[in-house]
Amino acid sequence: MARIEFLGPIGKEPQELAISNLNELKEIFAKDEKLAEWLGICAVAVNDKIVKSTDMKINPNDKISLLPPVCGG
């Protein structure tokens, strides 16, 4: 199963899910009110590389990170 990490202020514990691509992950998270808010604004990394395509194949041992936007000063 892929491991999903929620960074920063998202405030959720890591999860392990059996998914084959990021579209499946998006469908699952859209059902969670708290996560649905973050879906449109977070960057997504697979094995520490930012990805844009939700069609990307996910392997069982992949690490997926949801990266909320940050600002600094």
CATH number for the domain spanning 45: value is 3.10.20.30
If one counts the domains in the chain, the total is: 1
Per-residue pLDDT tens digits for 51-63: 999 898 999 999 9
53 falls within a domain: yes
70 falls within a domain: no
Range of the domain at 6: 2-59
71 vs 31 pLDDT, higher one: 31
| pLDDT for the residue numbered 34 | 85
Q: What are phi and psi of 41, to 5 degrees?
A: -115, -10
The C-alpha angle 64, 11, 65, rounded to 5 degrees, equals 10
Q: Where are the alpha helices (DSSP H) in the chain?
A: 22-30, 33-39
Rounded to whole angstroms, the maximal C-alpha distance in the chain is 39
38 falls within a domain: yes
Q: Global pTM?
A: 0.88
28 falls within a domain: yes
